[in-house]
């Protein structure tokens, strides 16, 4: 009897310890899961913050350069052209790296040094606003307003006037060169026609041979005109014209209702890109060498 009671008591105590151990194990598992969830959330937040840190720096630099470039355009410029200008700036910043560009700004000119200071101090303020907050991170409207106000205080008039002057000169040279080409081609065509019409020979074979020589000479003269040295802006226009014709996805954007190529729109887009190059060159952001120009032209696809 006594033996049975001891055995029964032992079984109850054993079950109680098992329950306690299970509960303790479950509690430990929950604690570990909670820690892992916290670590995961912290890692996710840090990754988001790291991405935001880079993206916001890129954005502020692109915003400032786009703002300066926009002051070089007429007030009546089409919104789509402003967007293209912004896209060119963003592509440049992404390729060069915003941190690398800002470090270069500090030692190049007083203007660029001041611009770098505004961008970096605003960037620090933006990141400070993220402390204690979870993703997604954003730049507040008040920070952007303060940023734009500081950019407005910079003396950009002298620089933008110089850029506009250079772009205007390039546009005039482009128009004069094309007008001269058109006149020369018309004169050549008329002269060649007259020469062919005036060909008189003893026999038809000789006459045909002379006429063919006249036509061949005309084609060579036309090739010489078409292959003459082009200005940067003209090269951009020609490159973009070829790219538009060969790229079906963008062709509709540059096609008029009558089905003809919208050359004026191609010229407008090219002028936006040229304005960017002049801005980069005038501000001394980058040394616009022949190699860099070649890379820029090659990128027009």
The answer to pTM > 0.85 is: no
User: Domain for residue 65, yes or no?
Assistant: yes
**The pLDDT of residue 207:** 86
Q: Which of 154, 178, 209 is the last residue of a domain?
A: 154
The reply to whether 139 and 235 lie within a common domain is no
Report if residue 249 sits inside a domain: yes
Q: 255 by DSSP, 3-state: which?
A: strand
What's the pLDDT tens digit per position in 241-252?
988 888 888 888
Lowest mean pLDDT among 129-133, 182-186, 247-251, 294-298: 294-298
Question: What pLDDT score does 293 carry?
Answer: 77
Q: Is residue 34 part of a domain?
A: yes
234 and 148 in a single domain? The answer is: no
Same domain, 123 and 26: yes
Q: Are residues 20 and 122 in the same domain?
A: yes
Q: Is residue 31 part of a domain?
A: yes
In angstroms, how far is CA 188 from the centroid of its own chain?
Answer: 42
Residue 47 lies in a domain: yes
In a domain, 29, yes or no: yes
Determine, yes or no, domain membership for 87. yes
pLDDT at position 5: 52
Task: Kindly report the length of the chain.
Answer: 301
142 and 263, same domain (yes or no):
no
Query: What is the chain's mean pLDDT, rounded?
Result: 88
The predicted-structure confidence for 95-105, as pLDDT tens digits, reads as follows 999 999 999 99
Q: What is the pLDDT of residue 15?
A: 64
| DSSP letter, residue 134 | P
Which residue's entry shows tokens 């036509």?
215
Which residue carries 């306690």 as its tokens? 20
Structural domain harbouring 236: 230-301
- Alpha helices in 71-97, H assignment, sequence order: 79-96
Residue where a domain stops, chosen among 154, 179, 206: 154
Distance, CA of 30 to CA of 134 (rounded, Å): 24
Tell whether 24 and 144 lie within a shared domain. Answer: yes
The total of structural domains in the chain comes to 2
Taking the C-alpha atoms of residue 147 and residue 297, their distance in angstroms, rounded to an integer, is 33
Residues 132 and 238 in one domain: no
- Whether the pLDDT of residue 4 is over 60: the answer is no
Q: Which range, of 38-52, 122-136, 217-231, 241-255, averages the lowest pLDDT?
A: 38-52
246 exposure class (CB count in 10 Å sphere: 0-12, 13-18, 19+): exposed
Rg (C-alpha) for the chain, rounded Å, is 35
pLDDT at residue number 6: 54
For the chain, the straight-line distance linking the first and the last C-alpha, in angstroms and rounded, comes to: 99
Which pLDDT band holds residue 282 (cuts at 50, 70, 90)?
very high
Give residue-wise pLDDT tens across range 138-192.
999 999 999 999 999 999 999 999 999 999 999 999 999 999 999 999 999 999 9
pLDDT of amino acid 139: 93
| Residue 169 domain-assigned (yes or no) | no
pLDDT digits (tens, 9 = 90+) for 6-64: 555 555 555 666 766 677 777 767 777 767 666 776 778 888 999 999 999 999 999 99
Q: Which of residues 154, 188, 217 is at a domain's end?
A: 154
Q: Are residues 132 and 235 in the same domain?
A: no
Residue 261's φ and ψ, nearest 5 degrees, are: -70, 130
Does 141 share its domain with 235? no
pLDDT band at 194 (very low <50, low <70, confident <90, very high): very high
Residues 259 and 135 in one domain: no
What pLDDT is recorded for position 133?
87
């Amino acid at each position: 009897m006594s033996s049975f009671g001891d055995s029964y008591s032992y079984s109850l105590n054993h079950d109680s310890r098992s329950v306690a151990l299970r509960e303790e194990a479950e509690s430990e598992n929950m604690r570990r899961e909670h820690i892992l969830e916290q670590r995961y959330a912290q890692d996710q937040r840090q990754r988001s913050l790291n991405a935001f840190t880079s993206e916001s720096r890129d954005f502020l630099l692109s915003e400032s350069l786009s703002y300066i470039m926009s002051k070089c355009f007429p007030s009546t410029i089409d919104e789509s052209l402003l967007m293209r200008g912004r896209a060119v700036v963003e592509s440049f910043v992404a390729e060069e790296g915003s941190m690398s560009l800002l470090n270069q700004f500090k030692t190049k000119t007083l203007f660029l040094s001041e611009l770098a200071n505004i961008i970096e101090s605003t960037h620090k303020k933006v990141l400070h606003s993220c402390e204690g907050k979870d993703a997604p991170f954003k730049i507040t409207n008040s920070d952007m307003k303060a940023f734009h106000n500081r950019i407005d205080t910079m003396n950009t008039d002298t620089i933008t006037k110089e850029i506009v002057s250079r772009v205007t000169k390039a546009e005039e040279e482009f128009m004069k060169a094309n007008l001269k080409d058109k006149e020369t081609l018309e004169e050549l065509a008329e002269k060649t026609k007259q020469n062919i019409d005036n060909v008189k020979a003893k026999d038809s074979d000789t006459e045909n041979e002379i006429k063919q020589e006249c036509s061949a000479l005309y084609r060579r003269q036309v090739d010489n005109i078409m292959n003459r040295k082009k200005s940067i802006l003209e090269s951009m226009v020609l490159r973009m014209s070829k790219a538009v014709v060969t790229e079906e996805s963008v062709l509709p954007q540059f096609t008029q209702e009558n089905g003809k190529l919208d050359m004026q729109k191609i010229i407008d887009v090219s002028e936006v890109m040229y304005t960017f190059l002049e801005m980069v060159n005038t501000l001394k952001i980058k040394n616009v060498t022949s190699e860099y120009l070649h890379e820029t032209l090659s990128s027009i696809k």
